[in-house]
Structure 1
Amino acid sequence: MSPKRGDAVAPPPVGDEWHLRFATSEAAKGWIDLCAEAPGNTRRCFEALCTDPLSQEDPDRQHRLRGRLATGTLGGREYPQWEYEVTAGGRVRYLVDEPRRIVHLVYASPRHPKDTDT
C-alpha cells in the first residue's frame, strides 16, 4: 500500500528496531480503525512490535499462535505467526521475518478474528 497525500507518516525504525509493514490492505485499514478506537493501546502495540515482536514477557497480551494458525505464508514463504491483543476484542496478527527484522502485519482490527472461534 503506497502512501498518498493525507496519509499518516510512519516513523522509521531506529537502531535495533524492527521494520513494520502491512502485508494486506485489510490490515492497513484495520490498523487505522484500531488507532481511532484505542490510540494508547495501539501505540503500545506499535512500540512492542518495533522493539521485540518475539517477546514472551506477557503471554496474555503477546504470543505465538498455535495449531493451524502457528504459521502464515507471505510471498511463498512461511513465517511464524504471532498475535498482539490490543483491546479485549482488538487484535493484531503478524508474521515475523527474523533474518530481515521485518514484522508483516497480516490482520489488524478492533474486532476479534473469527478463525479462532471454531
Structure 2
Amino acid sequence: MTPARGDRAAPPAPEDHWEVRFADAASAKGWENLAQQARENTYRAWLAMRTDPRPTAETPRHHRLKGSLAHGSHRGQTCEQWQIEVTGSGRIWYLADGVRRTCWITFAGAGHPRATDR
C-alpha cells in the first residue's frame, strides 16, 4: 500500500528491528479499526512485531498459529504465521519473513478471525 497525503509516517526499522508491513489493503483497514478501539494494545503489538516477532517463550496472547494456519506465503516466501491477541476478540495475524526481516500483517481486526471458526 503506497502512502498517501494525510497518512501516518511509519519510522524505518533500526538495524536490529524488523519491518512491519501490511500484506493487503484489508489488513491495513482492519489495523486502523483495531487501533481506534485499542490504541495502547495495538501499539504494544506493533512493538512486539518490531522487536521480537518470533518469541521463544510463547504466551496465550502471542503465539504461533497451529495446523493449516501455522504457515502462510507472501511474495513466494513461505513463512511462520503468528497471532497477537490485542483485545478479548481483537487479533493480529502476521507472517514472520526471516529472509526480509519483515512481519507481513495478514489480518488485523477487532473481531475474532473466521478462519479459526471450524
TM-score by length of 2: 0.95
Query: Displaced runs of 4+ in structure 1, greater than 4 A?
Result: none
Which residue identity does 2:99 align to in structure 1? P
Contact between 2:72 and 2:81, CA under 8 Å: does it hold in 1? yes
Q: Indicate conservation of the 8 Å contact 1:56/1:63, yes or no.
A: no
- Please state how far the C-alpha of 1:10 moved relative to its aligned partner: 1.1
Are the counterparts in 2 of residues 18 and 101 from structure 1 also a CA contact under 8 Å? yes
Percent of residue pairs bearing the same amino acid type:
44
The secondary structure found in structure 1 opposite 2:40 is: helix
**For residue 35 of structure 1, what is the aligned residue in structure 2?**
35
TM-score (norm 1): 0.95
Instruction: State the Cα RMSD in Å.
Output: 1.1
In structure 2, list runs of 5 or more residues that go unmatched: none
- The number of aligned residues is 118
Secondary structure, aligned partner of 1:107: strand
Please tell me the residue identity of whatever aligns with 1:23.
A
The aligned runs of 1:13-32 (5 Å cut-off) are 13-32=13-32
Greater mean alpha carbon deviation, residues 22-31 or residues 75-84:
75-84
Residue 58 (structure 1) shift: 4.5
User: Distance between the aligned counterparts of 2:100 and 2:75, measured in 1?
Assistant: 14
Amino acid at match of 2:104: H
SS at match of 2:68: helix
Q: Which residue of 2 aligns with 1:79?
A: 79
Structure 1 unaligned regions, length at least 5: none
- State how 1:41-60 maps to structure 2 within 5 Å: 41-60=41-60
Q: Secondary structure at the match of 2:106?
A: strand
Deviates more, 1:44-53 or 1:4-13: 4-13
